[in-house]
């Protein structure tokens, strides 16, 4: 029993390919948790049906709760359980119920000892040093130092597949029904192909000679050109035809003293077929037409000669049929390339909608012609349906904007959208509507307000900053880097928000 793995991003099209590629007839399909095929029970039914069509049995295994329920449904052993309304397969997000700690600035009360000094001395001894110290602290605390805070968040895979119809009857994109306008496209190409012939033909010369026909009857007999004579006492029926019309006179009457004299006439003959076997020696007897040999007989006084034969390569019907198919197969590749090149660069041709038809075929030789090679010039018409990738992108963006959970967002532009022909069987006729399966794969991360975090970190001690960052929702870990390192002795975050840079990294 062979095991196949269906990953989280594998849709029904991918799963069917794995079933077809399996060598065993008994399969166990291990399906990952949150796999896209668990969107509905129809996907599992399609996979199971395709396995049965291939003469295979399949058993589904999974640790996914929803998946177990769907498997039980198609087996008819369990009631349907409620499923997440979002339709998305994502890991369960870590959500913290804790509220970030408020940062309270600790205010220290300066100690001032009452000293009775003149005002100018007080200004000199107290005011000037205080002013210099304040400036120094301002520069040290607000101007010079900076901090970089790196927050690591756990990204979640977001996989979704939707069925989109490309219709040549549609004139505009319909987001609600997911219908994309399509265009019927076609082109005509002409290609030439050649191959060696495999047929055989016997060619040669017919043997020729001359015979004397004897008439043993009392009446003159006329034989027309093309009349046949056949060799008497032969295992093979060797036949010859007269090259001209001939009148054979009747025999002379018998008298008391003389026997009858046969009427005779000479005529040239040609063998019915080619071959050296018709080169006969002299003194052979021949039956003339359907006449009895007691009435008419022919003899050759000299040998028949010039008969010959040999086998040569020739064109057979099988050669023509095979060359036509080979040319058609080769032309398909070229036709598809030319079809795609003929459409607007913003359009894409649905490969599975492409239909090829043979047009006019012209062969260099006919069946039976002597030849070592045969060539063909063939016209092929290719047609299909094209769609706009921009329309697919609009649908993808619309889906993402509607279905990303609250408090989450796309991780940059790290997303992909693949398009597959949904029908599992190839079409044999021109299509007006084509169903596409659009599979979207991307990652989402929790929303992090970097500006708010920087504001809350301003002026905190390192310890309190660490406590605060520990309680930021959906973060895995964090680091704080102070610049320059020498100011770490201050043990406090910069007092200027602009000096605190918050970076979010995906895990």
Q: Enumerate long-range contacts of 101-104, CB under 8 Å, 24 or more apart.
A: 101/464, 101/467, 101/468, 101/471, 103/456, 103/457, 103/459, 103/460, 103/464, 103/468
Same domain, 318 and 294: no
Same domain, 189 and 318: yes
Whether residue 220 lies inside any domain: the answer is yes
- Calculate the CA 342 to chain-centre distance: 20
What's the pLDDT at 157?
79
Same domain, 293 and 323: no
State the residue for tokens 């505009």: 172
Same domain, 304 and 324: no
Whether residue 167 lies inside any domain: the answer is no
Identify whether the C-beta of residue 443 lies closer than 8 Å to the C-beta of residue 157: yes
Whether residue 85 lies inside any domain: the answer is no
Whether residue 178 lies inside any domain: the answer is no
Same domain, 240 and 308: yes
What's the pLDDT at 89?
35
Same domain, 283 and 323: no
CA distance 265 to 89: 105
Identify whether the C-beta of residue 192 lies closer than 8 Å to the C-beta of residue 248: no
Same domain, 210 and 299: yes
Q: Last residue of a domain, which of 75, 94, 124?
A: 75
Whether residue 405 lies inside any domain: the answer is no
Output the domain CATH number for residue 224.
Answer: 2.40.30
- Calculate the CA 202 to chain-centre distance: 48
Same domain, 237 and 337: no
The domain total for the chain is 3
Same domain, 356 and 366: yes
Whether residue 308 lies inside any domain: the answer is yes
Q: Last residue of a domain, which of 293, 312, 331?
A: 312
Same domain, 189 and 207: no
CA distance 349 to 357: 17
Same domain, 298 and 351: no
Same domain, 333 and 190: yes
State the residue for tokens 């090259």: 243
Whether residue 419 lies inside any domain: the answer is no
CA distance 450 to 320: 74
pLDDT tens, N- to C-terminus, the chain (507 residues): 889 999 888 888 888 888 888 888 888 999 998 888 887 788 888 888 888 888 888 998 998 888 888 888 887 654 444 444 333 333 333 333 333 333 333 333 443 444 444 555 555 556 566 666 666 555 655 566 788 999 888 777 777 788 888 888 888 998 888 898 988 899 999 999 999 999 888 889 999 999 999 999 999 999 999 999 999 877 778 999 999 999 999 999 887 668 889 999 999 999 999 999 999 999 999 999 889 999 999 999 999 999 999 889 999 999 999 999 999 998 888 888 999 898 888 888 888 788 899 989 999 999 989 899 999 999 999 998 898 888 888 888 887 777 777 778 777 655 555 666 555 444 556 667 888 777 777 778 888 888 999 899 888 888 898 889 888 887 888 998 888 766 666 778 888 888 899 988 877
Q: Compute how many other C-beta atoms are within 10 angstroms of the C-beta atom of residue 71.
A: 22
Q: Is the alpha carbon torsion for 282, 283, 284, 289 positive or negative?
A: positive
Whether residue 497 lies inside any domain: the answer is no
Sheet holding 408-421, edge to edge: 179-181, 156-167, 433-446, 408-421
Q: Is the alpha carbon torsion for 292, 293, 295, 296 positive or negative?
A: positive
What's the pLDDT at 104?
35
**46: containing domain:** 2-75
What's the pLDDT at 241?
96
Q: Last residue of a domain, which of 329, 362, 386?
A: 386
């Amino acid at each position: 029993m062979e095991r196949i793995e269906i990953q989280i991003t594998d849709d029904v099209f991918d799963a069917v390919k794995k079933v077809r590629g399996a060598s065993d007839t008994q399969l166990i399909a291990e399906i990952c948790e949150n796999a896209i095929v668990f969107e509905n029970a129809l996907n599992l039914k399609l996979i199971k049906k395709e396995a049965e069509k291939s003469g295979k049995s399949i058993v589904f295994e999974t640790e996914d709760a929803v998946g177990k329920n769907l498997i039980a449904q198609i087996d008819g052993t369990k009631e349907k359980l409620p499923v997440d309304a979002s339709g998305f397969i994502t890991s369960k997000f870590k959500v913290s119920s804790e509220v970030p700690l408020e940062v309270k600035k600790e205010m220290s009360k300066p100690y001032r000892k009452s000293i009775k000094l003149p005002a100018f001395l007080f200004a000199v001894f107290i005011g000037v040093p205080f002013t210099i110290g304040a400036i120094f602290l301002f520069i040290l605390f607000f101007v010079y130092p900076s901090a970089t805070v790196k927050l690591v968040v756990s990204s979640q895979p977001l996989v979704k597949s939707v069925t989109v119809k490309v219709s040549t009857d549609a004139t505009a994109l319909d987001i609600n029904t997911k219908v994309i306008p399509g265009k019927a496209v076609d082109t005509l190409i002409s290609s030439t192909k050649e191959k060696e012939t495999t047929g055989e033909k016997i060619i040669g010369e017919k043997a020729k000679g001359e015979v004397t026909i004897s008439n043993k009857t009392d009446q003159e007999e006329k034989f027309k050109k093309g009349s046949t004579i056949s060799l008497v006492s032969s295992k093979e029926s060797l036949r010859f035809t007269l090259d001209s019309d001939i009148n054979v006179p009747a025999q002379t009457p018998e008298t008391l003293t003389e026997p009858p004299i046969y009427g005779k006439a000479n005529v040239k003959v040609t063998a019915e077929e080619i071959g050296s076997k018709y080169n006969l020696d002299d003194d052979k007897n021949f039956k003339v037409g359907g006449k009895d040999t007691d009435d008419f007989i022919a003899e050759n006084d000299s040998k028949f000669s010039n008969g010959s034969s040999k086998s040569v390569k020739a064109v057979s019907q099988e050669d023509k049929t095979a060359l036509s198919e080979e040319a058609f197969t080769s032309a398909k590749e070229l036709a598809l390339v030319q079809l795609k090149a003929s459409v607007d660069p913003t359009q894409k041709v649905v490969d599975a909608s492409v239909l090829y038809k043979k047009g006019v075929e012209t062969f260099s030789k006919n069946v039976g012609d002597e030849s070592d090679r045969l060539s063909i010039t063939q016209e092929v018409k290719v047609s299909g349906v094209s769609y706009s990738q921009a329309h697919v992108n609009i649908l993808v963006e619309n889906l993402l904007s509607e279905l990303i959970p609250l408090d989450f967002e796309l991780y940059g532009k790290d997303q992909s959208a693949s398009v597959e022909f949904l029908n599992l069987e190839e079409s044999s006729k021109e299509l007006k509507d084509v169903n596409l399966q659009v599979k979207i794969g991307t990652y989402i991360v929790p929303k992090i307000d970097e500006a708010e975090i920087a504001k809350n970190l301003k002026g905190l001690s390192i310890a309190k900053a660490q406590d605060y960052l520990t309680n930021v929702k959906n973060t895995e870990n964090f680091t704080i880097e102070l610049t320059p390192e020498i100011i770490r002795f201050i043990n406090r975050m910069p007092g200027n928000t602009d000096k605190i840079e918050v970076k979010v990294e995906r895990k």
